[in-house]
Every structure is written in structure tokens, then in C-alpha cells.
């Protein structure tokens, strides 16, 4: 019996040594962020938390091609450790001459690389407690201020090219809303394939022009072909940054609900010193019920931001004034947000 155990143990060790080649560079990083949001009533807002861990390794293949492997997990603030969910994972190959090839989940491929052009102080565009740049339920595409993308929350393939003047990204998603790698059969939640591109051009020093487009085929949920496009610019001069962006989304849904959005947004940020940054941001979102009929409702956002950087820690305060939130005539709120984030 002892000999059998020794043989089995030796086999396992040998198998591990064969199947787990050395990775030259491995790192672990993470963050924890707390958001406090006050919308003027006890039923809205509150205190939320998000913790993330990223494991990343890389090296060089036998043929000289560089590679990296990453995995990110985030929790949803629940008590159980099982609340950690995979928030991103990818394998990326550096092919040389500025070319890269990536395969991953929830990665920035295609139009995702240009969805945030205008400057924004320090923190994430989305807040932990469901408010996205002041919108309360804007996570439902395309009702938020973002362009319709094809790689966020999806399994996708990305091809990139970058030099000193141009950055180009192509994205392809074989099947949107594919929940897991074993989900190969068609279900009611499955949507069609999607393609997109994003491009940034550094026209002159400090000036970046960006744009992109995306298209999805055969959405089985809405029986439509969603698409989106965006164009914008950002300009940096010393401690000053300004940007403007236009976005158009069209999902061809039923005429009884807003099936398209036209968005204009812009921001200005100023770095007072190494620690303090102040900024303002504004957006206008028009909801359209069909290609010829604008329902006349626009969401308007105005945000004042103050960010203070303490090295690994960031403290930020936002004041948001929102009118006609989510396309509702009566939904108007003033929101205060306090954010604390520590990276490690």
C-alpha cells in the first residue's frame, strides 16, 4: 500500500512539472473601494463596497513571442467568500511591430477602447451602487451614456496595433451573452455575434482624436441588429485637459420604448498639484422611439468633481445634478457621492 501511494505521489509531481511550465513574471495586485451616495432620501443611496484582486503572469514563448495571462475577481459586498466573481480574464500575445492578439472575457477590445474619451477625475465612470455618471439604472443598454460595445462582459477576441501616432483595436465576439465556456447551445438569452473597431490618432502633441463603431448580428432577444458609433477628441496642455464626445446607439427595438440614444458629453479637468485635481463634466442624452420620432425627453447631467490622490489611496467627492434621469420627465435628483479607494 505504501509503495502504491509513493508511486501515485511521484506520478502527480511528475505531471505537475510537465503541465505547469515556469512563468518568468508573476504579480498579484488589487484594490478595495467604498462609495457613499446620498440622493436626498433614506430609500436611495447608502454605503457600498467593492474589492478586486488581479493575478497576472507573463513571459516569452520558445519562438520569441511575448505573452501575458491575467485573471481578475471582484466581490459584490456579500458576507460569503463565494461572492467573488470573475470580472476579467485574458491571454495576450505580443506579436511584434506593435501588433497584439488577445482572447479574453470583459476586456477592452474594439470600440471599448474609445468609449471614454473626455477627461474624468480619478475614479471609475460607474459607481458601485448602480449609478453610472449620475444615472440610476443606466446599466441597461443603451440607456446609459456609453456607446454600445461588444467586449464588456463578453467572451471576445481582440487584435491591436499601436505606434507613436495611431492606436487601432478590432474586436470580435462569436456569441454575445454566452454565460460560460460550456454554453454552446442556443438559449433564449443568447444573442448574435458582434464586431467592432476603435481608433485613436495622436494628431499633434496633446491632441487625440478617437472614434469607433460596432455592429451585432441576429439578436435573438430583441430580434434586431444593434449597432453603435462614437467620435470625439481630448486635448491636454500641461495640467489642463478637455474633451468632447458624441455617441449614437440603435438597437431597433419596439417603438413603444426608447430604442435609440443620441449622446453628447464633455469634460474639463485641472490638476492643481500632484495630489489635487478638480473637474466638471456634462452630458445630454436624447431618447428616440424610432428612426423618425424623437420622444422629446432628454437626460441632462452636470457633475462637479474633486479628487485627492494620496499615492495608493484616492479620495473623491462628486456632486451630480440630474434632470429627466433614465428618460423620465419627473425623475430629477441632486446626488452627493464620496469615494475612497485603496490600491495594493
**Cβ atoms < 10 Å from Cβ of 239:** 12
* φ/ψ of residue 8, rounded to 5: -65, -40
At 58 the pLDDT is: 95
List the alpha helices (DSSP H) in 172-270. none
Half-sphere exposure of 139 (CA within 13 A, CB side): 10
At 220 the pLDDT is: 56
Nearest-angstrom CA–CA distance, 291 and 344: 48
All structural domains of the chain, each given as residue ranges with its CATH number in brackets, are: 25-343 (2.40.160.10)
What nine digits make up the cell of 192?
448574435
Query: Would you write out the chain's pLDDT as a tens digit for each of its 344 residues?
Result: 444 443 444 443 444 443 445 556 789 999 998 888 887 665 566 788 888 899 999 999 999 999 999 999 888 665 555 566 777 899 999 999 999 999 998 888 998 888 878 777 765 555 544 444 434 333 333 345 566 666 777 889 999 999 999 999 999 988 876 554 444 444 445 567 889 999 999 989 999 999 999 888 765 555 567 788 999 999 999 999 999 999 888 866 544 455 677 888 899 999 999 999 999 988 888 876 654 545 567 788 888 999 999 999 999 998 888 887 666 666 677 888 898 999 99
At 59 the pLDDT is: 93
At 138 the pLDDT is: 39
What nine digits make up the cell of 86?
470573475
At 4 the pLDDT is: 41
Amino acid at each position: 500500500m505504501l509503495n502504491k501511494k509513493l508511486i501515485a505521489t511521484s506520478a502527480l509531481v511528475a505531471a505537475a512539472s510537465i503541465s505547469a511550465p515556469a512563468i518568468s513574471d508573476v504579480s498579484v495586485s488589487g484594490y478595495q473601494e467604498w462609495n457613499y451616495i446620498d440622493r436626498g432620501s433614506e430609500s436611495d443611496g447608502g454605503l457600498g463596497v467593492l474589492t478586486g484582486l488581479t493575478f497576472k503572469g507573463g513571459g516569452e514563448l520558445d519562438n520569441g513571442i511575448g505573452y501575458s495571462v491575467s485573471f481578475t475577481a471582484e466581490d459584490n459586498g456579500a458576507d460569503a467568500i463565494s461572492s467573488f466573481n470573475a470580472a476579467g480574464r485574458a491571454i495576450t500575445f505580443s506579436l511584434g511591430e506593435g501588433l497584439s492578439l488577445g482572447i479574453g472575457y470583459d476586456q477592452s477590445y474594439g470600440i471599448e477602447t474609445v468609449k471614454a474619451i473626455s477627461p474624468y477625475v480619478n475614479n471609475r465612470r460607474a459607481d458601485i451602487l448602480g449609478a453610472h455618471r449620475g444615472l440610476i439604472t443606466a446599466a441597461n443598454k443603451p440607456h446609459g451614456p456609453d456607446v454600445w460595445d461588444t467586449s464588456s462582459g463578453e467572451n471576445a477576441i481582440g487584435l491591436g496595433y499601436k505606434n507613436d501616432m495611431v492606436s487601432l483595436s478590432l474586436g470580435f465576439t462569436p456569441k454575445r451573452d454566452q454565460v460560460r465556456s460550456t454554453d454552446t447551445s442556443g438559449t433564449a438569452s443568447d444573442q448574435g455575434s458582434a464586431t467592432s473597431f476603435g481608433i485613436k490618432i495622436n494628431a499633434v502633441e496633446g491632441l487625440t482624436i478617437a472614434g469607433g463603431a460596432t455592429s451585432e448580428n441576429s439578436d435573438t432577444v430583441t430580434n434586431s441588429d444593434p449597432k453603435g458609433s462614437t467620435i470625439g477628441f481630448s486635448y491636454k496642455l500641461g495640467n489642463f485637459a478637455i474633451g468632447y464626445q458624441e455617441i449614437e446607439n440603435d438597437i431597433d427595438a419596439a417603438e413603444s420604448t426608447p430604442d435609440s440614444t443620441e449622446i453628447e458629453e464633455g469634460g474639463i479637468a485641472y490638476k492643481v498639484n500632484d495630489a489635487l485635481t478638480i473637474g466638471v463634466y456634462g452630458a445630454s442624452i436624447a431618447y428616440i422611439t424610432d428612426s423618425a420620432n424623437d420622444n422629446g425627453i432628454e437626460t441632462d447631467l452636470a457633475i462637479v468633481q474633486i479628487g485627492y490622490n494620496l499615492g495608493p489611496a484616492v479620495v473623491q467627492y462628486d456632486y451630480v445634478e440630474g434632470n429627466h434621469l433614465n428618460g423620465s420627465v419627473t425623475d430629477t435628483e441632486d446626488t452627493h457621492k464620496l469615494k475612497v479607494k485603496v490600491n495594493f
